[in-house]
Structure 1
């Protein structure tokens, strides 16, 4: 199996996309496939560049035994489109901004995370709701089904 490179993307890279990055790393490791994947996350905005994962997101990951130590926000670049096989956004606004940054999506690499599940749509945004449990559930389901779809192909 060739290495699959995945970039998870949200607005600030402090809540949803780092949660997806570290959840995906964990389920890939649990499946014994860590050598087959390279996984990162990034932001579409510059607002949080250099900041650590938002404390409630960090706590939610820790509740499930997942560390995101050392992760700081970075902005997605046009170069990421060439570096990664899949660029996975959390909502429609992220997808629009990702396409703007990349100059569209000629290779059809840009997808919403929940579109890999049986309930396509947007990952719940805890920045506005404060509901990190709903975000956790979306991210876990999305990453599990994303891994399943990659391994199947």
Structure 2
């Protein structure tokens, strides 16, 4: 969800050529899958499309290629550090930290509350 919210915000600002925005899984459960249907519906409610998405695994090369690696929760950060061999350049952070908050993004996998996730992602991306 965060990938497409961020892409939409960047598109609205007319700065698409200044950013490369991508998402990657830190676990293997959803590899190859499209955006989860309830998340896709929540994005569509806000006019955001996510067609053609297929979940991919984060790799150590992502650490070299991206300036920021943003996790939704602390488990993501832990997995990111493991995958990347640490975070020597301080590139890894939690999404909500960019909004001055210390918590994790609400995880709809456990709660089913995609509205709460939408709110957190929207706050973090802005």
Give the SS at the match of 1:88: strand
Corresponding residue for 2:4?
22
Shift of 1:118: 2.9
CA deviation vs aligned residue, 1:3-38 (integer Å, no higher than 9, x gap): xxxxxxxxxxxxxxxx10000000011111111111
**Superposition TM-score, scaled by structure 2 size:** 0.98
Q: Distance in 2 between matches of 1:48 and 1:85?
A: 25
Corresponding residue for 1:78?
60
Shift of 1:46: 1.3
2:52 aligned with 1:66: no
Corresponding residue for 1:106?
88
RMSD: 0.6
**Superposition TM-score, scaled by structure 1 size:** 0.81
Q: Distance in 1 between matches of 2:53 and 2:7?
A: 13
Q: Distance in 1 between matches of 2:104 and 2:72?
A: 6
CA deviation vs aligned residue, 1:25-59 (integer Å, no higher than 9, x gap): 00011111111111000101111111111000000
2:105 aligned with 1:132: no
Q: Which runs of 5+ in 2 are unaligned?
A: none
Give the SS at the match of 2:22: strand
Shift of 1:87: 0.3
Runs of 4+ displaced beyond 3 Å: none
Give the SS at the match of 2:41: helix
Corresponding residue for 2:17?
35
Q: Distance in 1 between matches of 2:46 and 2:27?
A: 28
Aligned residue pairs total 126
Q: Which runs of 5+ in 1 are unaligned?
A: 1-18, 145-153
Shift of 1:104: 0.3
